[in-house]
């Protein structure tokens, strides 16, 4: 083999390896919902996990920060039920609320997004084997799309961990892309 062919072959192998690495990085930091019609970019520090439930499409562990003793959890699902019903359910998952829940509606990338922010003791749904989380916080978002229905995104866990990841959560929502 000539030196030129060897160089070309090595260059091609390097390009393929690099493309594979970039593809893996994109998969690690992107979430596709509604059969790939909705895309969000998540923080690289969030750790993709196997969903604990069949109705959850994507799940991430949010690494805890001191003084918290457990990680946060981020879930994505396209489920049924209306906006108000789900917001009420989310608020109802918190006891001993230290302030009134905050709910607001905004446009993000042309889509209506309902934001929910609740603080208190998180009471997980029954039959999940999860323990209540005192001093917890939840940041939730319900994305209303015309073509692809409602998408439910929920970040919850110990307050310090969620507060430390609030900007990354908002950045993720601002990365929203919905296919036309």
| Topology given in CATH for the domain delimited by 29-178 | Protein Transport Mog1p; Chain A (3.40.1000)
Domain ranges of the chain: 29-178
Two tokens at 177? 């892309």
What pLDDT is attached to residue 6?
53
Q: Which has the closest alpha carbon to 63: 139, 162, 129, 138? A: 162
Rounded to whole angstroms, the Cα distance separating 166 from 163 reads: 5
Burial class (CB in 10 A: 0-12, 13-18, 19+), 112: middle
Note if the bond before 175 is cis, omega within 30 degrees.
Answer: no
Angle at 133 between CA 88 and CA 161, to 5 degrees: 95
Question: CA distances (Å), 129 to each of 52, 69, 76, 123, 169, in order?
Answer: 11, 18, 20, 11, 26
DSSP 103: E
What pLDDT is attached to residue 81?
83
- pLDDT (tens digit, 0 to 9) for every residue of the chain, 180 residues total? 676 555 445 545 554 544 333 333 344 589 999 999 999 999 999 999 999 888 999 999 999 999 999 999 999 999 778 999 999 999 999 999 889 999 999 999 999 999 999 999 999 887 777 889 999 999 999 999 989 999 999 999 999 999 999 999 999 999 999 998
The predicted model scores a pTM of: 0.83
Rounded to whole angstroms, the Cα distance separating 146 from 58 reads: 21
Residue 76: count other Cβ atoms within 10 Å of its Cβ.
22
What pLDDT is attached to residue 79?
76
Two tokens at 167? 């900007």
Element (H, E) at 3: helix 3-29
């Amino acid at each position: 083999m000539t030196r030129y062919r060897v160089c070309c072959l090595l260059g091609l192998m390097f390009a393929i390896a690099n493309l594979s690495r970039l593809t893996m990085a994109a998969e690690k930091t992107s979430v596709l919902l509604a059969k790939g019609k909705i895309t969000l970019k998540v923080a690289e520090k969030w750790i993709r996990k196997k969903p604990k439930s069949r109705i959850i499409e994507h799940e991430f562990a949010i690494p805890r920060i001191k003084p918290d003793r457990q990680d946060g959890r981020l879930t994505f699902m396209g489920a049924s039920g209306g906006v108000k019903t789900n917001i009420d359910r989310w608020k109802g998952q918190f006891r001993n609320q230290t302030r009134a829940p905050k709910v607001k509606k905004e446009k993000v990338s042309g889509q209506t997004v309902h934001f929910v922010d609740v603080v208190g003791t998180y009471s997980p749904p029954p039959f999940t084997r999860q323990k209540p989380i005192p001093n917890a916080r939840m940041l939730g978002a319900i994305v209303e799309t015309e073509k692809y229905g409602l998408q439910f995104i929920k970040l919850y866990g110990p307050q310090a961990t969620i507060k430390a990841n609030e900007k990354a959560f908002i950045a993720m929502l601002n990365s929203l892309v919905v296919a036309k």
